[in-house]
Structure 1
Amino acid sequence: MCPSLRKTAPTQYPDPRSLLASNPYTPPATLAQSIMNASPLLSALVVVREWLHEMAATVPPIDPGAINGYWRFTKHVLMQDLRMSSATDAVVSEMDPDAVNRGAQAKALAIDDANYDKSLVQALFSLVRAGKFDDAVEMCRRAEQPWRAASISGALLLRWRTITSAPRDDEAEDEMDVVDEGWRGNLRRKLWKTACTRAALNQNLSPTERALYAALAPSPQTSGPLKAACRTWADQLWAVVSIACEERLAVGLAGLASESFWEGGVAAVEGPAVEEGTEGANSGSRMETEEEDWEKEVLGALESLSNVAVEEGSNADDPFHVSQLHIILDRTDELLEAFASSLQQGEYDTSAPQYASMSRFFAHLCLYLQMIDIDIPPLATQVILEAYLQVLEAAGQRDLIAMYAGALGDNAVERYAMFLTSLELSADVAERRLALTRAREHGLDMQRVAVATAERTIEKAFQELPPAKGPLPSIIGMQPPASEQEQLLLRSIEWTTFMESTHTTALEQANVILRYFLGCGRVQVAKALLEMLPVELSSIRKPEELATEHLQYRQFFVVWESLARVVECQALESPSMNRETRAAWLEDYKLLLQQAREQVLKLLTNDWLIIDAERTAVDRRRRELIRIRQIYIPELIIRLHALLVASRSKMPENLKHALMLANIVADSRYKLTEDFVSQEGRRLGDYLGAVRQAILAGLEAGGSDPFRIVTL
C-alpha cells in the first residue's frame, strides 16, 4: 500500500510549512493536498476511498412526483386547515426545515412528504457514499431543499487558484477550476463541521439523516451513526477510511493554525515571525509524532475489519475481503504466501464456482505487483500462477496458457511444455503448431518448449506402453491399428519437426521411437512414423552415428516394401492370362524379385544396425538394436529364400541365388548367424532345413549331384 515500495523515485512536493512560509494565505485545499503528499499512508487511503466510491452501489432513482413543490402535501393540509379554521395535531404547523424537530412534542409531515423526505435522505446518503457530492447538491436543489444543498457543499475545502503559490498539477484540476479563477469551498469549514457533528449526534433526527451528516463530517465522534448505516463490508471499510482521512487532515490543518490565515485568522499573519531553527524543529518533531500515532490508530481500525459483522453481502472472512484488507495494510507477502500455502495443502475445492475467480484474482495480483516493480515472494507466485494455469486448462482456454506461463520466469518453458503435453491427441497438427507459436509471442524460447514437450510426451507414452523386451514378437500376418498410447508416442515427434532448428533433436527422438516400434514388431506403425518426418532429416549428417542409424531404418523399409511388392505381384498370376499378359507379368515379377534380392543382400552385407560395442556407452541402445536384428534379419533371409525357391519354375537361376544366399549367411564377416535365436521360426536350424529343401529341389531336373545347380 505504501508508495515507497515502488522502485521508481517518488515525486517531491513542497511541505505545508514551506507553502505557508512563502504565502500565509495558501488556501486550505492546497494545504490539505500538501499534507496528503507528505503522508504515504494518507495518500494510499485517499486512493482506497476513491476506489470505494467507484464500487458503491448504484443510487436508486426517487419518485419525481414529489419534487413538484416543497412539502406540497403538507402545505395542502395546512391550507385546508386555514380554510376550515381547524388544526391537525399530527401535522406540523410551520413550513421551516426544523419544524418536525421543534417543541417537546414533535409533529410530522404529511405522509407523502414524509415518505419522500425519507427516500431523499437515503438517496443523498447513497450519493455521498459514492463520492458524488455534486449530484447530491443538484438533487437537493431539484427537491427545493437548498439548505441540504448548502450542508453538503460545506464539505468542500476552500480553494483559490489566484492566491495559490504552490505548483499547479493541471491533471488534478477539474474543469470548473480551469474556468473559474475565483474562490470555491467553505470559508467556515470548522464551524460547518461542528454543526454536522451536532446533527449526527442529534437523537431527534432519523438514523439515515444522522448518517448523512456523519458521512459529511466523519470523525471518531460521529463513527457510531455512520457505521450504523453501513450494511456491507465495503461500507464499513469506507467508514473507517473516511474517518481516518478526515481526522488526519483536521489534525494537520489545526497544527498549521499559527501560520495560516484561513486557519488562525489575522493573528497568524500579523503575529511575530517564528524562529526557523527552534520552532521549525519542534513542529517537525510534533508532526512526526502525530503521524505515527495516527498511523497506529488507523492500522488498528483497519485490522478490526477482519471480524466486523455485516448485514448484507459477503462476510469479513470472504477471501476477496481478506485480500483487499491485506493489500490496504501493505501485507501482500503474507497474503500471497497464505493463499499459496492453502493451495498446496488442498484446502480449496477446485470445483467450487468461486475458485476460478479467486485464482484469477490472485494471479493477476501477482502479475500487477510485478509490473509495478513491487517485490513479491517468488515461490508463492509460482504456486498461484500454476493454480490459475490449471483453471485455464480445465476451462479449455488454450490461447491464454502461454501468456500466463510466460510469467513463471525460469519455470515458464517447463510449465508451458507441460500444458502442450496435456493436449495429447486432442489437437491436430495445425493446432499444435499454433500452440507452439504462441510460446514465441509471449517471450518463451520456442525451441526449448518444443524439445521439452516432445521429451515429456515420449516419457508419458513410455510409462503407459509395455517395454520392448521378452520373447521376440511375431511379424507374420495382419497387425492391429495403433493404440492411443502408440499414437501418442507416434505424434510426439511432431513437436520437434515444426522448426528446422529442432530437426537434430527430431532425428534423435525418431530413432528412439523407431527402435521401440520395431522392437515390438510394429512395422506398420514404425513406417507411419517415417512418413511423418520431414525429408530434411535425411540430409542431416551429424551426429554421424544417429544419422547412419536413421538412414538404415529407411533402408530397411525400402527392403521390406520390395519384398511386399514381390508377394503382391506373385499373387497376380492367373491361369486365364493370355500370352502377352503373362509375358508382361513375368517380366515385372523377375524385375521385382531381382531388385528385392539385391536390396536384401546389400542390407545383410553392410553391418545393418551394428554398432561398435567399444565405442558406445549406451548399453540400452545396443540391446535394442540387437533385438531388432534378431527380429528382422532372420525374417528377411527366410522370406527372400522362400521367394527365390518358389520362383524356380519360372526363373531356374533363382534356386542358385537361394543357395548363394546361404553362403552369405554362413560368412563370418557378416555375423548373420548370431541373429538367429532359439525361438520358433527364427532358429538357424529352421533356415538350414529350408536350404536342404532347396538343394533337393535342385535334383528335380535330374542328376545325382546336389550342388550341380550352383555351378550352372
Structure 2
Amino acid sequence: VRGSHVGSYLPSSGVWHHTQRYLKKGTSDRNLVHHLDFDAPTRENANVLPDDKKQDESLLEDVWTLLRAGRLEEACGLCRSAGQPWRASTLSPFGGLNLFPSVEALMKNGKNRTLQAVEFESGIGHQWHLWKWASYCASEKIAELGGKYEAAVYAAQCSNLKRMLPLCTDWESACWAMARSWLDVQVDLEVTRSLPGGVDQNRNFGDVIDRSPGQVDGSFDPSSGPENWPIQVLNQQPRQLSSLLQKLHSGEMIHETVTRQCKDQQRQIQMSLMLADIPHVLDLIWSWIAPLEDDQNVFRPHGDPQMIRFGAHLVLVLRYLLREEMEAAFRDKILSVGDNILHLYAQFLFSKEHEELVGIYASQLSRHRCIDLFVHMMELRLHSRGSDYTLVDVIVITMFMMGLITGLQLRPATIETEMTAIREE
C-alpha cells in the first residue's frame, strides 16, 4: 500500500490541536469553529485551521488507500489510533465488517432487545439502505466543501462513482471503483427484490440504468421511501460487465490517463479475460507478434519477445485446462492460432540458439507444422557459417525431429547428451 503515513498515526494526531490552542487564546473569528466536536464544521458552517485540515486530509488519503486495497479493518483501526473513533464507526456502522446489521453486532454495541427488535422488524435491508443514503448525502456535501478524499471514502460506501473516479488516475483504480460500485448496486437491488413490491421497484431501477445520462434529470421520488437508491447513483452504473469496460474506454468521468492505459497490451488482455473472450485474446496476441508480411526472414518476428513467450505459455495452459470443455469454434481457434504462436516461439528459440528447448514446444504442434519447422531449421543451419558446427546441428536436429514425427518424446537432457557426444566424435 502506497502512502507515507499509513499505520503511523499517534493517538492524538486526529484531534484539532492547532484550532484548540487558537480557541483557548479567546480570539474571535467568524470563519473558525467554536467547538471541537466532529459535527462542528457542518453545524456552524465554519472551518478548522489550515494545519488541522491538512492533517485530516492526510489521514483521509491513507484511509482511502486502505479501502482501495480492501483493508477495511485496518482503515477503521487507523481512524481509532488517530483519535477519530467516530470516523471508524461511519465505515462499519453495524459494529462489524459484514456491514449488514446482525444480532451479534447490536449486542456488542450494547443495544437492548427492544431496539434490536425495532431495527430488525423494520424490514430486510432497511437500515442498510438508510446508511447508504447517509453516505451518499455525506459524499455530496463534503465534495461541495472541497474534501476530495473524504468525499471518496463515503462515496465508496454508496457506489457514488462521481466522487470516486476523480481520484482514480490509473486503470486499476478506475476498474476497481467501477466494478465494486456495480457489484454493490447489484447486491442491493437483489435485497430490494425481497421486499414487498420489490420486483416492480427493480424493474423501474432497470429502466433508469438503461437510460443515457442525458435522459435523467437527477431527481428522485422521496415518497418511495428510503429503500430506493438515489437516481444519481443508479444512473452512473453500467448495465453489464461489457458496458463497464466500455466506460473505462470512453466514460465521461474517466481520467484521460485511464483511457490511454486502456490501449496498453496488458490491459487489453485483462479486459478480454474479464469477459472470458479467450479467442479474442489469442487473436490479439497473434496480431502483436506475427511477422510482417514483407519480412523475408520468418525467424525475425516484429513482436516483443516477452509477448511471444507469454503467448506460447498461455496457449499451453489453456489447452491443458480446457481440453475437455472446448466447443468446436473455440477448439479450432486455439488449435490454429495456438499453433501459429507456438510455431513462432519455437522459431524464436532456435534463432537464439536454444535448440535444447525447441522440442518441448514443437512437440505440441500438429504433425505438418512440425515438419515445416524442421525444414526451416535445416535451411537455416545449412546456410549458416561454420560447417563443422552446422553438420553436428543437422544430425542432432534430424534425430530430434524424427523422434517428434514418429511419436518418440526426447527430453532436453537427452538431446544435450547426444549433441555433446556427436561433437566429441
TM-score, scaled to structure 2: 0.65
Given the alignment, which residue of 112, 117, 120 partners 2:59? 120
Do 2:178 and 2:244's aligned partners in 1 also have CA atoms closer than 8 Å? yes
1:303 matched residue in structure 2: 246
Aligned equivalents of 1:336, 1:59: Cα separation in 2: 38
Do 1:401 and 1:416's aligned partners in 2 also have CA atoms closer than 8 Å? no
2:140 matched residue in structure 1: 201
AA matched with 2:164: L
Q: 1:300 to 1:146 in 2, by over 3 A?
A: same
Do 2:282 and 2:338's aligned partners in 1 also have CA atoms closer than 8 Å? yes
Aligned equivalents of 1:243, 1:197: Cα separation in 2: 13
Aligned equivalents of 1:414, 1:136: Cα separation in 2: 61
Aligned equivalents of 2:38, 2:350: Cα separation in 1: 63
Aligned equivalents of 1:211, 1:223: Cα separation in 2: 9
Aligned equivalents of 1:414, 1:110: Cα separation in 2: 75
2:158 matched residue in structure 1: 217
Given the alignment, which residue of 181, 198, 202 partners 1:243? 181
1:339 matched residue in structure 2: 285
TM-score, scaled to structure 1: 0.41
Given the alignment, which residue of 49, 54, 74 partners 1:109? 49
Q: 1:101 to 1:342 in 2, by over 3 A?
A: same
AA matched with 2:36: M
Q: 1:156 to 1:389 in 2, by over 3 A?
A: farther
Aligned equivalents of 2:399, 2:262: Cα separation in 1: 54
2:91 matched residue in structure 1: 152
Do 1:201 and 1:210's aligned partners in 2 also have CA atoms closer than 8 Å? yes
Do 1:343 and 1:383's aligned partners in 2 also have CA atoms closer than 8 Å? no
Q: 1:247 to 1:406 in 2, by over 3 A?
A: farther
Give how far 1:495 is off. Answer: 5.4
Given the alignment, which residue of 298, 306, 320 partners 1:357? 306
1:192 matched residue in structure 2: 131
Do 1:73 and 1:110's aligned partners in 2 also have CA atoms closer than 8 Å? no
Aligned equivalents of 1:498, 1:392: Cα separation in 2: 15
Do 1:299 and 1:329's aligned partners in 2 also have CA atoms closer than 8 Å? yes
Q: 1:189 to 1:390 in 2, by over 3 A?
A: farther
Aligned equivalents of 1:407, 1:491: Cα separation in 2: 22
For the pair 1:330 / 2:271, whether they are aligned, the reply is: no
2:338 matched residue in structure 1: 381
Aligned equivalents of 2:274, 2:137: Cα separation in 1: 31
Q: 3-state DSSP class of the match of 2:28?
A: coil
2:417 matched residue in structure 1: none
Give runs of aligned pairs for residues 170-181 of structure 1, distance below 5 A: none
AA matched with 1:68: S
For the pair 1:488 / 2:396, whether they are aligned, the reply is: no
Give how far 1:159 is off. Answer: 7.7
Q: 1:210 to 1:533 in 2, by over 3 A?
A: closer
Question: 1:175-214 deviations in whole A, cap 9, x for unaligned?
Answer: xxxxxxxxxxx98221111111111222125111111111
Give runs of aligned pairs for residues 499-510 of structure 1, distance below 5 A: none
Q: 1:484 to 1:139 in 2, by over 3 A?
A: same
Q: 1:215 to 1:296 in 2, by over 3 A?
A: closer
Q: 3-state DSSP class of the match of 2:271?
A: helix
Aligned equivalents of 2:166, 2:6: Cα separation in 1: 23
AA matched with 1:158: F
Give structure 2 stretches of 5+ with no counterpart.
105-124, 211-236, 405-420
2:317 matched residue in structure 1: 368
Give runs of aligned pairs for residues 89-100 of structure 1, distance below 5 A: 89=30, 91-100=32-41
Q: 1:188 to 1:321 in 2, by over 3 A?
A: same
Question: 1:18-65 deviations in whole A, cap 9, x for unaligned?
Answer: xxxxxxxxxxxxxxxxxxxxxxxxxxxxxxxxxxxxxxx534434846
Structure exhibiting the larger radius of gyration computed from Cα positions: 1
1:167 matched residue in structure 2: none
Aligned equivalents of 2:353, 2:2: Cα separation in 1: 35
Over the residues paired in the alignment, what is the CA RMSD in angstroms? Answer: 4.4
Q: Percent of counterpart pairs with the same letter? A: 22
Aligned equivalents of 1:125, 1:119: Cα separation in 2: 10
Given the alignment, which residue of 77, 86, 91 partners 1:138? 77
Give runs of aligned pairs for residues 395-406 of structure 1, distance below 5 A: 400-406=357-363
Do 2:14 and 2:84's aligned partners in 1 also have CA atoms closer than 8 Å? yes
Aligned equivalents of 2:26, 2:103: Cα separation in 1: 57
Give how far 1:416 is off. Answer: 7.2
Do 2:342 and 2:365's aligned partners in 1 also have CA atoms closer than 8 Å? yes
Q: 3-state DSSP class of the match of 2:365?
A: helix
1:542 matched residue in structure 2: none
Q: 1:70 to 1:362 in 2, by over 3 A?
A: same
Give how far 1:246 is off. Answer: 0.9
Q: 3-state DSSP class of the match of 1:94?
A: coil
Do 2:269 and 2:281's aligned partners in 1 also have CA atoms closer than 8 Å? yes
Give runs of aligned pairs for residues 188-587 of structure 1, distance below 5 A: 188-202=127-141, 203-218=144-159, 222-258=160-196, 296-307=239-250, 310=255, 312=257, 315-344=261-290, 346=292, 355-373=304-322, 375=326, 376=330, 377=333, 378-393=335-350, 400-410=357-367, 413-414=370-371, 417=374, 421=377, 456=378, 461=382, 464=383, 484-485=386-387, 488-489=390-391, 492-494=394-396
Corresponding pairs, count:
339
Question: 1:444-487 deviations in whole A, cap 9, x for unaligned?
Answer: xxxxxxxxxxxx37x953xx59xxxxxxxxxxxxxxxxx82365
Q: 1:307 to 1:115 in 2, by over 3 A?
A: same
Q: 1:102 to 1:403 in 2, by over 3 A?
A: farther
Aligned equivalents of 2:188, 2:32: Cα separation in 1: 41
Aligned equivalents of 1:301, 1:532: Cα separation in 2: 60
Do 2:10 and 2:81's aligned partners in 1 also have CA atoms closer than 8 Å? no
1:450 matched residue in structure 2: none
Task: List structure 1 segments (4+ residues) > 6 angstroms apart after TM superposition.
Answer: 159-162, 292-295, 349-352, 496-499, 531-535
Q: 3-state DSSP class of the match of 2:156?
A: helix
AA matched with 2:127: R
Aligned equivalents of 1:126, 1:250: Cα separation in 2: 25
Q: 1:133 to 1:534 in 2, by over 3 A?
A: closer
Aligned equivalents of 1:323, 1:116: Cα separation in 2: 40
Q: 3-state DSSP class of the match of 2:66?
A: helix
AA matched with 1:386: H
Aligned equivalents of 2:397, 2:310: Cα separation in 1: 33
Aligned equivalents of 2:256, 2:291: Cα separation in 1: 32
AA matched with 1:339: I
Q: 1:489 to 1:138 in 2, by over 3 A?
A: same
